Amino acid sequence: MTKLRTEGLTKRFMGLVAVNDVSFSMEEGEILGIIGPNGAGKTTFINLVSGIAMPSAGRIEYKGRDITYAPAHERARMGIARTYQLIHPLENLTLLENVMVGSIFARGNGLKEARRKAEALCLELGLADLERETTRLTILEIKKMEIARALANEPEVLFLDEVMAGLNADETKDLIATVRRVAKERRLAVGVVEHVMGVIRELTHRVIVLEAGELIASGPYEEVSKNPRVVEAYLGGAAVHA
């Protein structure tokens, strides 16, 4: 079942076209990689789909419903969640409270229900000592907290914007397994932005490649990584096989 679909999605900032005529779709249970050099429009694309930014042209559909101009909080309530490239833990809140925020805002849960849900999610993601302040967490724990907060929305579609950045090899492995498990159990459609191609290769069923706002290729990683246009887009930047 198609969860999310865009058609001709475009975002202009003054003279710059950050996202240019992008049509794509994401299926239930699918983990989709979104790759492309720095400045390709990946974060902007997620902003458009999650309602943080409004498109200049094009259309966005969620489960067949037009949400092109729906406000962000409405999309969150419908089941579209995301994490942010620049993580923003609420520093005077505890780990648990940071996760509770997700279900209080998006789901309108009361405190008690939000707490119960947040505790269950933390347990599921392997987070302990939930009364710690976020300044005491490791990077891996912060990343998991961000994912737990997004999951507290009870999403059907989840975007992860460079969640693996800053992790070492073991932590990356841990987070790949975690993402795969939570996605599978919930039949989530997941959009993963990552620069480390090993992560994309291991985690995703399919990738789309953005370059200067345009979707230049789409398909399984093994196929797309051999596409001459994709290889060229990465020349001088991160090598596709790095």
Contacts to Mg ion by CB under 5 A: 42-43, 85
Computed from CA positions of residues 128, 130, 132, 134, in that sequence, does the dihedral angle turn out positive or negative?
Answer: positive
Contact 160, 193 (CB under 8 A): yes
**If binding is defined by CB under 6 A, does position 83 make contact with ligand ADP?**
no
Give the one entry of ligand ADP, Mg ion, none that residue 13 binds, where binding means its C-beta sits below a cut-off of 5 to 8 angstroms depending on kind.
ligand ADP
DSSP secondary structure, 179-240, as one string: HHHHHHHHT-EEEEE-S-HHHHHHH-SEEEEEETTEEEEEE-HHHHTT-HHHHHHHTTSS-T
Give the one entry of ligand ADP, Mg ion, none that residue 36 binds, where binding means its C-beta sits below a cut-off of 5 to 8 angstroms depending on kind.
ligand ADP
User: What's the alpha-carbon Rg for the chain, to the nearest Å?
Assistant: 17
Q: Which of residues 133-192 bind ligand ADP (CB under 6 A)?
A: none
In angstroms, rounded to a whole number, what is the distance separating the alpha carbons of residues 140 and 162? 13
Q: How far is the CB of 41 from Mg ion (least distance, A)?
A: 8
Nearer to Mg ion, 45 or 62 (CB): 45
Q: How far is the CB of 46 from Mg ion (least distance, A)?
A: 8
**If binding is defined by CB under 6 A, does position 237 make contact with ligand ADP?**
no
SS3 126: coil
Q: Which of residues 4-63 bind ligand ADP (CB under 6 A)?
A: 13, 16, 18, 36, 38-44
Q: How far is the CB of 85 from ligand ADP (least distance, A)?
A: 7
Applying CB under 6 A, the residues found at the interface with ligand ADP are 13, 16, 18, 36, 38-44
